[in-house]
């Protein structure tokens, strides 16, 4: 998969809600930063087949090829995540 090509897909189709950095720009959207490749691909394909439904994602996913899905998943999976847990 080509994470750089995936960043272009993210810029065109994902950034408004998810950000290029994978930090959600609105509460209804999840963060994608650092999610695993398998999780991202599974969810995008589920939205594309209708196994998972969301009024926004069902439409967006229909416009993604297998290659787009593989590349955009590689992009978001390549983002490094760190957390600060409350005491």
Binding positions for a copy of itself, rule: CB under 8 A? 3, 20-24, 27-31, 33-39, 42, 51-53, 78-86
Q: Are 52 and 43 in contact (CB under 8 A)?
A: yes
Q: How far is the CB of 53 from a copy of itself (least distance, A)?
A: 8
Q: How far is the CB of 60 from a copy of itself (least distance, A)?
A: 17
The candidate with the shortest Cα–Cα distance to 11, out of 50, 52, 19, 3, is 19
Dihedral of alpha carbons 40, 42, 46, 49, sign:
positive
Which pair of tokens denotes residue 75? 């992009």
Judged by beta carbon, residue 59 or residue 81, the one nearer a copy of itself is 81
Q: How far is the CB of 38 from a copy of itself (least distance, A)?
A: 5
């Amino acid at each position: 998969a080509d994470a750089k090509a995936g960043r272009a897909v993210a810029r065109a189709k994902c950034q408004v809600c998810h950000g290029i950095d994978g930090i959600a720009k609105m509460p209804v959207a999840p963060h994608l930063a650092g999610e695993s490749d398998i999780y991202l691909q599974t969810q995008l394909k589920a939205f594309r087949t209708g196994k998972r439904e969301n009024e926004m994602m069902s439409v967006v996913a229909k416009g993604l090829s297998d290659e787009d899905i593989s590349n955009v998943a590689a992009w978001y999976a390549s983002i490094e995540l760190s957390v600060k847990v409350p005491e």
